[in-house]
Structure 1
Amino acid sequence: MKNLIILSIAGFLLGGCTTGTSITKEGTTNDPKWHKVETILNKDQGTFPNLQSLSEVRQGMTKDQLYSLIGRPHYDDGWRPREWNYLFHFTTPGQGENDITTCQFKVIFDHNMIASSFYWNPINPKNGVCPPNIQHKQIANKRYTLSVDALFTFDKYDIENLNTKGKEDLDSLVRELGKFKELNTIQIVGYTDRLGTQDYNEKLSYNRAQTIKQYLTLKGIPSQIINTIAKGSEDAVKECQGISEKKQLIDCLAPNRRVIVDVDGYIEGTPENNPAIK
């Protein structure tokens, strides 16, 4: 009886909360089964994947390589599982709930723990295409760098202190974003110069990034795809050592006062032969 209990516990630890999918030695299945959506581990209920990273998922990858591309699985499949399960959201204007399509994604590994096959399961809408139309578009990643001095009055950050040139630059950015067929994620990173305390600079860079997010939202960009990061005086472009006169130092440090906008989305293009997204 004692041995039976030990074996039962060991089986539970090895199996975890598996889906019950029957997996061959080669890492395939004829009947993929899925976790209930609400059993997800991620408290944020899944993620918007980086589409460029998702497009690079291939057969033959190790778990470490997959982890680096699309992160850890969102569901618990126990110890050394032969399947990884994710919950992904995609921005799909005119489709899904609030223009978002939600899909489950399954990676199945062979007996050597090498990625072998991939499966999708539509969640919302239930009859949706997963992943939505990736095979009809080309992934595009672009970076835009904005000068803070051209955006804001010196040492200011709120939308009321956007100057004329700043509004023109942001309107130009909005036009650039309009060239994307679809937008997936926008990351806004704010920077300051080294003048002032670290806490002050981090708060200032955060507020400026938030103001730009607010401006883009007012222009129709969905707020849920925009993330903001405060870097303060990190990653300086110029050090300007040996300058004591304040105005000259402020002018010299101008390139450090910037906002970087990284955009991930789709443009029209030709599909890649990628088994993970077909």
Structure 2
Amino acid sequence: MKTILQTKTPVVGYALPLIAACVSAIVTIGCAAPSHTITPEMQARAAADNPAPPKDADFPAMNSAKWQQGSFPSLEALRAMRTGMGKDQVRELLSFPHFSEGLGGVREWNYIFHFRTGAGPEYITCQYMVRFNADVLTNGMYWKGPGCADLLAPAVVAAKPTPPVVPPPPVVAAKTTLGADGLFRFDRSAEGDLLPDGRQRVERLAAALRGQAFDQVVVTGHTDRLGSTAYNDALSLARAQTVRQLLVQNGVDAARVRAEGKGERQPVAHCAGTARTPELIACLQPDRRVEIEVTGLR
């Protein structure tokens, strides 16, 4: 009896296109690592980086983009971008970058964004760069293109026929202290956690600074002694960074504003006891503050 041998096409012949597609996808989006927990200490490091901004030549040529059509992003999504965000969070807001960013250790994402200029089809095009630090958290967001950064400023409401009289900006003090309890919701530090009165005080200070000549503004966050040193350092720096960002959003030159956190190391209150009682928390209230010091005011 003869044995009939059947020749089959090797399975690898079918697998090659699939493997090629997978490799292409990996090259497109980079080697994405599994998600990891973002700690306050990691966010504090990202907020403290303050890297030098890129030059126009550091942005990739738009014709080298993988997706050259770009996209029309949500302004609210762009306004939600902050330092200390992970790649999953950035991807949730802005989607994948439009350029092939490499295979491993990716520290930079680049986008091509379009913005409508009116009711018609006309739009302007901007490039947007997101940089990541060694913890793979955002430590800088940058624009290329005239007027692109200004697109995130709040819309200006048209003046009414009989606008109210606006008092002149207050005289800027060399050092202004804002109580953190009146600035932020309890134990919070993001811009969305700013209380309405606290936000208005920072915006009024920014308006006053716009009319003054000065060398530098240093925003320093402080906490009370309750909680761990590492946590207090991270919280104080995150709050200072939020106040700095609000000043910049309201017209203060970003290159002249610096944020730092001192945690619990510079107390001003003298309170006995260590138990976390309502009385002790109230006594330590002056320690929870954000100081804004203007140098070279003239």
Shorter-chain TM-score category? 0.3 to 0.5
Q: Hey, which of these two has a bigger chunk of helix by percent?
A: 2
RCO comparison, higher one (Cα < 8 Å, 6+)? 1
| Length-normalised TM-score, structure 2 | 0.41
Q: Hey, which of these two has a bigger chunk of strand by percent?
A: 1
